[in-house]
């Protein structure tokens, strides 16, 4: 059939099953209100103000302002307090930071691989 020949026997029967199945409607279904929901979404007025962006930028500006204020008020220097302690263990802290970042990256990669079901 595929090569212009006329299949017979099991070949013909197998092709018959294949062609019948290919004509069969798959069972994928959308919700009954799909069309009206999508049409409403397409015609929804554009967002005039992005509150998420507002809070993100606002938060960052506020954080910087408080940081500058704190530095000014406490007359902060890196040789003070807890930073002197960090100085004696600098290698350990660098290693710890690199280890934690690497662990997160590895976890993200492995979990991403599993969740996509990409096991081919």
Partner 1 sequence: MNDDQALASYVAQGNKHAFELLIRKHERLVTHMVGRLINNSEDLEEICQDVFLKVFEKISEFNFQSKLSTWIATIAYRHAINHLRKKKIEIADLPADEKFAERFIADEDPFDAVEENEMEALVMKMIEKLPPQYRAVLTLYHLENMNYAEIGEATGMPDGTVKNYLFRARQLLKEKVKTYLGNEV
| Min CB(59)–partner 1 separation in Å | 29
**Cα–Cα distance between 116 and 56 in angstroms, integer?**
30
Angle at 56 between CA 54 and CA 62, to 5 degrees: 95
Are 72 and 66 a contacting pair, CB within 8 Å? no
Interaction of residue 43 with partner 1, rule CB under 8 A: yes
**Cα–Cα distance between 66 and 64 in angstroms, integer?**
5
- In three-state secondary structure terms, 25 is coil
Task: Please work out the total of residues on this chain that contact partner 1, with binding judged by CB under 8 A.
Answer: 35
- In three-state secondary structure terms, 107 is helix
Interaction of residue 19 with partner 1, rule CB under 8 A: yes
Interaction of residue 110 with partner 1, rule CB under 8 A: no
Interaction of residue 105 with partner 1, rule CB under 8 A: no
Interaction of residue 47 with partner 1, rule CB under 8 A: no
Interaction of residue 82 with partner 1, rule CB under 8 A: no
Q: Which stretch binds partner 1 (CB under 8 A): 17-25, 57-65, 78-86, 97-105?
A: 17-25
Interaction of residue 24 with partner 1, rule CB under 8 A: yes
């Amino acid at each position: 059939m595929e090569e212009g020949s006329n299949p017979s026997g099991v070949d013909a029967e197998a092709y018959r099953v294949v062609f019948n199945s290919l004509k069969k409607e798959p069972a994928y279904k959308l919700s009954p209100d799909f069309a009206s929901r999508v049409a409403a979404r397409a015609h929804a007025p554009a967002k005039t103000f992005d509150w998420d962006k507002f809070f993100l930028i606002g938060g960052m500006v506020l954080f910087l302002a408080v940081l500058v204020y704190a530095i000014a008020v406490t007359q902060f220097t890196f040789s003070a307090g807890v930073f002197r302690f960090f100085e004696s263990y600098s290698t350990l802290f660098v290693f710890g930071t690199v280890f934690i970042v690497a662990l997160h990256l590895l976890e993200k990669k492995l979990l991403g691989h599993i969740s996509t079901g990409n096991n081919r």
